[in-house]
Amino acid sequence: MRIEAVPLQQIRRPLDCQHDPTKIADLMDSISAIGLQEPIDVLEVEGEFYGFSGCHRFEACRRLGHETIRCRVRRAPRSVLNYHLA
């Protein structure tokens, strides 16, 4: 596992997330003031990135206009991705 900045537009979010507008607004305030403190987790499968958690942090950074987001990147085979999508 490694931590790196990944372009937001390269992260696929295959599952729906129910966003809490208050939580996103609070995160936007926090990220603006002190930066993103906790990276999101993504799977890297065959050079593509998939995010399944951190949907509020992802959305807050997107709304703030960030081009990248700090991620804990874990490489995985397609079988692991399929497990998450099942």
Task: Name the band, by pLDDT with cuts 50, 70 and 90, for residue 16.
Answer: confident
Distance CA 58, CA 70 (A): 10
pLDDT digits (tens, 9 = 90+) for 20-60: 999 999 999 999 999 999 999 999 999 999 999 899 999 99
Residue 85: which pLDDT band, with cuts at 50, 70 and 90?
confident
Q: CATH number, domain at 58? A: 3.90.1530.10
Domain count within the chain: 1
Strand 11-12 and strand 68-75: pairing? unpaired
Q: Which domain holds residue 14?
A: 2-85
Entry pTM: 0.91
